[in-house]
Amino acid sequence: MYSFVPAILFLGVGIWLYRHEWKKEVQYRNKSNIMLAAYACILGVALLVVSVLYWGQL
For the chain, the domains span: 4-53
Confidence of residue 54 (pLDDT cuts 50, 70, 90): confident
Q: Residue 37 class from Cβ within 10 Å (0-12 exposed, 13-18 middle, 19+ buried)?
A: buried
Report pLDDT for 1: 60
Cα angle 13-6-17, degrees, rounded to a multiple of 5 = 5
Report pLDDT for 16: 94
Torsions phi, psi for 23 (to 5 deg):
-75, -20
pLDDT digits (tens, 9 = 90+) for 4-40: 888 899 999 999 999 999 888 988 888 998 999 999 9
- b/e map 47-56, b = 16+ CB within 10 Å: bbeebeeeee
3-state secondary structure of 10: helix
Report pLDDT for 56: 72
Report pLDDT for 42: 95
d(CA 32, CA 36): 6
